[in-house]
């Protein structure tokens, strides 16, 4: 979606997300009137739909046309946008060259206004794409008001602590069928990374607590984490499994609405943490990384990749106080 929005801005067009995410909306009690992700779970990305703009016309796909002829068509469609340095909307170059862009304070998280760091923006194409993807994700992930209320009510049911204590480290461990895409990262490796992150925070003069909020679908991983000495492990009280099945298969078995709500509660709790460990090969971890960097104003907090151990912060500074 971020690449599509960037391409539309580059061409001076309005971006409309036609469909996608039906696996999470079909049969979901929150989506009885529509199957569009950005009309039942999330706030709409645009005030109009593809049907609104077509008025019965047909719109060609971009890959079917010579790019020189794109301007001849009022509406264009595309099935695929790939992320490269060209995906960064150039309209931002001049704006960012003048300094950080303040984040709107009237968001759904009751967070104060903050500035999103963008060091050496004009000269770093790869970083620019990462920055833009984070901004677009912050815009796309805006829970619809009924969904936001449901998340807050459900939190009280499945997370007895209520709130994440300051200084907590968020850890997401994806198991299930993830090994089909990449080799599993052992629980012992996660402990090693968490200890390294904790040591880094202490060396910087802002020591984190020895408290973890763990989000995982795996029953065994949860048990292993809870067995670690000298660590307090917080988690939601939800159904889990140890089978090598996909999240979609588990949702079909358990109930789509329940799984979606459980996952969004875990996401909100992860964003309350003050540092994170996770594999950025996981789309869920990337979502946490991008949202903590934008709507939660924690772009400069520690974030260690569980596989490579790299610190993915957007600036070189480490906060002296938790926010």
> DSSP string covering 41-107, please?
TB--SSSS-HHHHHTT----BGGGS-GGGGGG-S--B-S----SGGGS-THHHHHHHT-PEEPPS-S
Which residue, 122, 138, 154, sits at the end of a domain?
138
Which residue, 89, 112, 138, sits at the end of a domain?
138
b (16+ CB within 10 A) / e for 263-278: bbbbbbbbbbbbbbbb
Q: Calculate what percentage of the chain has a pLDDT beyond 70.
A: 76
Same domain? 63 vs 160: no
Same domain? 48 vs 163: no
| Residue 319 lies inside a defined structural domain of this protein | no
Would you say the pTM of this structure is higher than 0.95?
no
Same domain? 152 vs 95: no
Q: Where residue 230 sits, what CATH number does that domain have?
A: 3.40.50.11350
Q: Which pLDDT score is estimated for 321?
A: 30
Q: Two tokens at 64?
A: 């079917």
Mean pLDDT per 10-residue run, the chain (323 residues)? 78 77 69 70 78 81 88 84 61 67 53 56 61 82 89 94 94 82 86 95 93 96 96 96 82 83 95 94 90 86 88 50 31
* Segments forming the whole domain that contains residue 125: 2-138
| Residue 253 lies inside a defined structural domain of this protein | yes
| Residue 88 lies inside a defined structural domain of this protein | yes
CA 149 – CA 250 distance, rounded (Å): 24
CA 69 – CA 62 distance, rounded (Å): 9
Q: Which pLDDT score is estimated for 35?
A: 64
| Residue 239 lies inside a defined structural domain of this protein | yes
Same domain? 108 vs 227: no
Handedness of CA 223, 224, 226, 227 (dihedral sign): positive
Residue with tokens 């050496």: 120
Which residue, 138, 159, 178, sits at the end of a domain?
138
- List of residues 6+ apart from 91 with CB closer than 8 A: 9
| Residue 316 lies inside a defined structural domain of this protein | no
Same domain? 130 vs 33: yes
| Residue 20 lies inside a defined structural domain of this protein | yes
Same domain? 170 vs 289: yes
Same domain? 70 vs 167: no
Q: Which pLDDT score is estimated for 208?
A: 96
| Residue 248 lies inside a defined structural domain of this protein | yes
Dihedral pair phi/psi, residue 321, rounded to 5°: -130, 150
Same domain? 158 vs 272: yes
Q: Which pLDDT score is estimated for 21?
A: 64
Same domain? 76 vs 180: no
CB of 2 closer than 8 Å to CB of 130: no
Q: Which pLDDT score is estimated for 87?
A: 61
Q: Which pLDDT score is estimated for 323?
A: 30
CA 244 – CA 176 distance, rounded (Å): 4
Q: Which pLDDT score is estimated for 283?
A: 87
When divided into structural domains, the chain yields a total of 2
Question: In the β-sheet with 232-234, what is the strand arrangement from edge to edge?
Answer: 232-234, 211-216, 169-173, 275-278, 303-305
Same domain? 151 vs 298: yes
Q: Which pLDDT score is estimated for 179?
A: 66
Same domain? 126 vs 190: no
Q: Which pLDDT score is estimated for 101?
A: 61
Query: Would you list the DSSP string of 131-161?
Result: HHHHHHHHHH--B-HHHHHHHHHHHHHH-TT
CA 131 – CA 43 distance, rounded (Å): 22
| Residue 210 lies inside a defined structural domain of this protein | yes
Residue with tokens 């001049």: 94
Same domain? 173 vs 297: yes
């Amino acid at each position: 979606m971020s690449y599509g929005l960037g391409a539309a801005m580059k061409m001076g067009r309005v971006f409309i997300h036609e469909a996608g995410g039906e696996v999470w909306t079909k049969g979901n009690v929150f989506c009885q009137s529509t199957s569009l992700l950005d009309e039942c779970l999330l706030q709409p990305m645009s005030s109009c739909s593809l049907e609104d703009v077509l008025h019965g016309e047909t719109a060609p796909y971009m890959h079917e046309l010579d790019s020189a002829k794109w301007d001849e068509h009022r509406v264009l469609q595309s099935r695929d946008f790939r992320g490269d340095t060209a995906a960064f909307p150039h309209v931002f170059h001049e704006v960012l060259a003048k300094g950080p862009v303040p984040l709107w304070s009237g968001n759904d998280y009751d967070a104060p206004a903050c500035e999103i760091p963008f060091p050496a923006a004009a000269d770093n194409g790869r970083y620019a794409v990462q920055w833009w993807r984070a901004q677009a994700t912050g815009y796309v992930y805006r829970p619809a008001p009924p969904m936001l209320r449901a998340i807050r009510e459900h939190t009280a049911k499945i997370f007895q602590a209520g709130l994440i204590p300051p200084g907590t480290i968020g850890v997401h461990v994806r198991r299930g069928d993830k090994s089909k895409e990449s080799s599993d990262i052992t629980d012992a490796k996660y402990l090693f990374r968490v200890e390294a992150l904790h040591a880094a925070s202490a060396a910087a003069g802002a020591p984190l607590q020895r408290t973890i909020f763990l989000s995982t679908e795996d029953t065994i991983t949860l048990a292993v984490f809870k067995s670690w000495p000298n660590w307090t492990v917080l988690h939601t009280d939800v159904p889990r499994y140890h089978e090598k099945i996909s999240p979609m298969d588990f949702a079909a078995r358990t109930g789509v609405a329940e799984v979606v709500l459980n996952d969004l509660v875990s996401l909100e709790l992860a964003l309350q943490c003050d540092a994170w460990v996770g594999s950025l090969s996981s789309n869920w971890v990337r979502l946490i990384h991008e949202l903590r960097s934008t709507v939660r104003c924690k772009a400069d907090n520690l974030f260690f990749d569980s596989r490579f151990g790299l610190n993915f912060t957007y600036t070189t500074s480490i906060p002296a106080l938790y926010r």
